[in-house]
Amino acid sequence: MTDSIAPKPTSAALTKIGITPGSYDLIPLDGLRQTIANRMTESFRDVPHFPLTIDVEIDALLRFRSRYNEEKAEGSGLKVTLNDVIVRACAVALARVPEANASFTPDGIARHHHADIAVAVALDNGLITPILRSVDTKSLIQVSIESKDLIARARAMKLSPRDYKGGTFSISNLGMFGIRQFASILNQPHGCILSVGVGEQRPIVKEGQIGIATVMSLTLTCDHRVVDGAVGARLLQTLQALLETPCIADYDLA
């Protein structure tokens, strides 16, 4: 008696355009991947968006983070990451440019009182954006502790809906993969999402002289119904200043 072999799943859509069944493996969509597909398609199709890019010199920021870890996190085992610093800097920038901390609704534009920042975390089956709440009211140490907890629970699939629903602003960082520059799709209802590239040594020109600096490209994708070009540019300029000339008062609470 011959065992029957179940036919491999195929895509009718691919067959329709001439791709032969059996020439690929079809991985069924799970709930997370289907949700991502639906939300990103809806966002890209329905939200008028535009990108703005700025380059940031981060040598002073890297020195600041090193000193901060030595002086503030010494003995705790905690190491503040560059992404933690960027999250906190975004919260400060949003407080200084509150027009960018906003969402479009059919009833009007919502200006948010706090910076609830969603940080993209890659999982085996997709992407999730857990939210750090009221980052504008928290020190860099608190941001680092909460961020590590959220990322760990996201990868263990232990987030509650409260951990990833809502938010006012998003950050996606692909610098660790060597990506220099990219633009992300808006994560509704957030008015902006910041895409963070790799920090790398690049030639720069200052006062007619060529030098070398560690440079990171930041791209802000904006919902044009909420954030126009001038507001988006002011937010990026404010963020650039916070990152290029870091001050402890901007990263720790008084």
Catalytic residues: 224
Tell me how far apart the alpha carbons of residues 102 and 88 are, in angstroms, rounded to a whole number.
18
Strand partners, 211: 204
Token pair of 177 as six digits: 């993969």
Amino acid making up residue 17:
I
Strand partners, 54: 218
Count of C-beta atoms within a 10 Å radius of residue 114: 15
Burial environment of residue 200 by CB neighbours within 10 A (0 to 12, 13 to 18, 19 or more): middle
To 10 degrees, what angle do helices 229-244 and 59-71 make?
Answer: 60
DSSP 189-251: T-SEEEEEEEEEEEEEEETTEEEEEEEEEEEEEEETTT--HHHHHHHHHHHHHHHHS--HHHH
Hunting for tokens 């799970």 — which residue is that? 30
